[in-house]
């Protein structure tokens, strides 16, 4: 199946299309695996957690309200499964200090920092997914406006062939589209 629309791909996988399912796994498997590796899980535990995440998706695929939010859903589920794995390892060897060094996410800080880091990664993934859903002209415009070094409107106007007076209104419309993205709405719903 070609890359295609994510909603179509999710619907096909939910209907039992093996090719669609394989496309989802190949497209988003690296995201799940990277989340597991972030928690410094060994290969066997990372594989177990990955399988559990895909099992959860099989169980919930037909109930996924916003197919475009799938990347955020996968990251959230992988993070939760990694947390379960981490806690299970602590229960098995509570007095072993290596558990804390071996399994804690690689951020060099305590629990609050871990939570903040996980939330930031979840938010960033949702934002990237939402940004990818925007029309090309919005991605170009916002990409130019959000650079670390500000670009003058005259330069943006020349690059995009857009009048300077249209940049602000177009920016507002593109940001509104971004806010309404299912990927970001799913993240905001999870936070409630």
Q: Tens digits of per-residue pLDDT, 32-79? A: 988 888 888 888 888 899 999 999 999 988 888 888 889 989 999 999
Beta-carbon contacts of residue 129 (< 8 Å; ≥ 6 apart): 68, 69, 71, 72, 181, 183
Q: Measuring CA to CA, which residue among 116, 57, 46 is closest to residue 85?
A: 46
Mean pLDDT to the nearest integer, 185-191: 63
What pTM did the predictor assign? Answer: 0.49
Range name among 20-24, 104-108, 154-158 with the lowest pLDDT average: 104-108
What's the pLDDT at 104? 46
Percent of the chain scoring above 90 in pLDDT: 39
Quick one: how far is CA 180 from the chain centroid?
16
Task: Grade residue 28 by pLDDT with cuts at 50, 70 and 90.
Answer: very high
Enter the DSSP assignment of 77: H
Quick one: how far is CA 13 from the chain centroid?
19
Task: Grade residue 112 by pLDDT with cuts at 50, 70 and 90.
Answer: low
Euclidean distance between CA atoms 18 and 86, whole angstroms: 32
* Better-scored residue on pLDDT, 116 or 107: 116
And the tokens for 108? 């060099």
Enter the DSSP assignment of 4: -
């Amino acid at each position: 199946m070609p890359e295609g629309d994510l909603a179509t791909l999710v619907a096909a996988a939910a209907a039992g299309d093996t090719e669609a399912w394989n496309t989802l796994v190949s497209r988003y498997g690296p995201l799940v695996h990277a989340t597991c590796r972030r928690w410094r899980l060994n290969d066997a535990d990372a594989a177990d957690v990955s399988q559990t995440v895909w099992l959860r998706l099989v169980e919930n695929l037909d109930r996924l309200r916003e197919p475009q939010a799938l990347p955020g859903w996968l990251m959230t589920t992988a993070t939760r499964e990694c947390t379960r794995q981490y806690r299970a390892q602590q229960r098995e060897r509570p007095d072993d200090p290596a558990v804390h060094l071996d399994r804690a996410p690689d951020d060099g800080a305590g629990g609050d920092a871990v939570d903040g880091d996980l939330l930031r990664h979840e938010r960033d993934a949702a934002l990237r997914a939402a940004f990818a859903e925007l029309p090309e002209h919005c991605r170009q415009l916002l990409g130019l406006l959000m650079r670390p070094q500000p670009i003058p409107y005259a330069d943006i106007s020349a690059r995009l062939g857009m009048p300077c007076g249209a940049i602000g209104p177009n920016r507002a419309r593109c940001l509104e589209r971004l806010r309404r993205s299912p990927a970001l709405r799913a993240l905001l719903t999870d936070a409630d």
